[in-house]
Amino acid sequence: MKKTYAVTLIPGDGIGPELVETVKRVIEGTGVRINWETVDAGEDAIAKHGTPLPDSALESVKKNKVALKGPITTPIGTGFRSVNVALRKSLNLYACLRPCKSYPGVKSHFPAIDLVIVRENTEDLYAGVEYLNSSAGAQEIIKMSQGKINPDANISIKPISRTATEKIAKFAFEFAVKNGRKKVTSVSKANIMKFTDGLFYEVCRETAKKYPKIQYEERLVDNMCMQLVQKPELYDVLVLPNLYGDIISDLCAGLVGGLGVAPGANFGDDCALFEAVHGSAPKYKGMNKTNPTALLLSAKMMLSHIGETEVANRLEEAITRVIKEGKQTTYDLGGNAGTREMGDVILKKFHSLS
């Protein structure tokens, strides 16, 4: 009898529910048996639960250890803080893994990219430690700065710890070893932020010494942006603090054709959460036109994580072939299929490969 896996399912907001439904149907069609536990989180959960991140959602992930999540809306400037960030912090999902890979048929200036972003997930400016100028905390920091900070400034704090950096550096090198990667590049801005980003480099160097078969190098984040646009083929695994990891992963997604083909996963010691890199795109909600590739590739990563490696690899091959053929894809890939229809074609291709 086939094993049944318990997985938390978070449909999300905007285009999330329709993407999740398509991906769920494809996964079930592969023959992998999953007991989905659907929970609410995001903007739409507020009216029902009074919060965008109910305790029931967190408890479900803690229990099942694996979750698949649709995109969730994050208000800009006002409103609740990011549910995505809260999930990662609450579950201590300290490592964000974002592969960026070229797929034939996806419009791109770079046809042979195969990069992996390893992003620290729990601290840096995403820690959310901020002070309004009117607060005692901001005024104390301004006073301590001895004129370096304007007196009318709001303040954000950027924590970088040895503990968190050791964990993400080890994760990056272990990933490189397990997946046959040759090089890890540490990225920061240590020439300016000497204490915080300087510590990130210091710990990565120490970790690199434990993995002598993996080449190690360092790049400043601004130079890294230029390098990736000019010669991305020189890079393999990039390990970065939280903010730079977020920015660079979007840049790399652009190199391979956009966020529509950019999957992601978040790992902790006990739990793993899989999600597309792109947002909830509320203006496309219910229109059945959004590309399901990013979330399908995230699901592929989930299948590998739970041990269904053969199915995961065949699913990626099916996705690759459908995109390359370019006939039954969504509009952004040059086709005229809807979200559901593209999912159905991928599943059909999956079975043709057996």
Q: Which residues are tagged catalytic?
A: 126, 189, 222, 246
Separation between Cα atoms, residue 52 and residue 283, nearest integer Å: 20
Task: Extract the tokens encoding 135.
Answer: 């607060």
Beta-carbon contacts of 246 under 8 Å, excluding residues fewer than 6 positions away, are 119, 126
Q: How far is CA 250 from the centre of its chain?
A: 10
- Burial of residue 17 (CB within 10 Å: 0-12, 13-18, 19+) is buried
CA atoms lying within 13 Å on the CB side of residue 274: 25
Which of left, alpha, beta for 280 (phi over 0: left; psi -120 to 50: alpha)?
alpha
Pure H helices in 282-338: 293-305, 309-325
Q: How far is CA 308 from the centre of its chain?
A: 21
Phi, psi for 155 (deg, rounded to 5) = -125, 135
Which 3 state secondary structure label does DSSP give 93?
coil
Beta-carbon contacts of 325 under 8 Å, excluding residues fewer than 6 positions away, are 105
Separation between Cα atoms, residue 109 and residue 102, nearest integer Å: 10
Other beta carbons within 10 angstroms of residue 156's beta carbon come to 12
Which 3 state secondary structure label does DSSP give 257?
coil
What's the full length of the chain, in residues? 354
* Residue from 15, 82, 77, 72 nearest 39 by CA: 72
